Amino acid sequence: MMKLKILALLGFLTFSGFTSKPADVNFKCLVQLTNYSGEGAYVAVSLLDATGKYQKTLYIFGKEKRWYDDLTSWWKFYSAKHESVDAISGASITPGSRKVFSFSLDDAYFNKGYKLRFETAVENQDYKEKDLEFEFSSANVGKSLNGTGYIRYVKLIGS
C-alpha cells in the first residue's frame, strides 16, 4: 500500500512538472526621442521571431487608434490578429522627451533569437519601420541602443 502511494506521488510530481507555467521575465524600457520638429511620435513596440514575423505587441505610444495605420508594418499584424492593445497603450511621445514602460514576457522568448522592434510615425513626416530593432537578449540589457529616426535611444532595464 505504501509503495502504491509513493508511486502515485511520484507520478503526480512528474506530471505536474510538465504542466507548470514557464517563468516570466520582467523589464522596464526607457524610450528617449530626438529633438525633431513636429507632432508627438506614435511608437509601436513589438516582439518578433528570428525570421522577423510579429509575435506580440508589447506597447503602443499613442492613444488615438485612427492614427495606428501610420505604423504600416505593425498595422498589418494588428489588424489581422485583432490584438487588444487598450491596456498597453499610452500617450504619444513629444519631441525630445522620454517615457518608460514595463512589460513581462515568458522567458522562452529571452536569449532565444527573438527581437524587439520599435516602429515610429509622426504626422506629416516619415514613417520608420525599423527605427530601432535589436535582439531580446541579456547582451542588450542595460545598454543604450541608438535609433535611426525619431528615437535617440532605448534602454532595456531588467527588473
CATH number of the CATH domain containing 98? 2.60.40
pLDDT for 104: 95
3-state helix, strand, coil in the chain (%, to 5): 25, 40, 30
Q: Is 106:24 a contact under the CB 8 Å cutoff?
A: yes
For residue 76, being part of any structural domain is answered with yes
CA 67/CA 36 separation, integer angstroms: 19
What phi, psi does 138 have (nearest 5°)? -60, -25
**Mean pLDDT of the region 58-87:** 92
Mean pLDDT (the chain) is 89
**Mean pLDDT of the region 53-65:** 95
For the chain, the distance separating the N- and C-terminal CA atoms, rounded to the nearest angstrom, is: 48
For residue 8, being part of any structural domain is answered with no
Range of the domain at 31: 25-158
Least confident segment among 29-43, 83-97, 121-135: 83-97
For residue 112, being part of any structural domain is answered with yes
For residue 5, being part of any structural domain is answered with no
For residue 6, being part of any structural domain is answered with no
The tally of domains found in the chain comes to: 1
Residue 81: band (very low, low, confident or very high) from pLDDT cuts 50, 70, 90 = confident
Strands, E, within 3-150: which ranges?
A: 24-33, 42-48, 54-61, 89-90, 98-106, 115-121, 127-135, 144-146
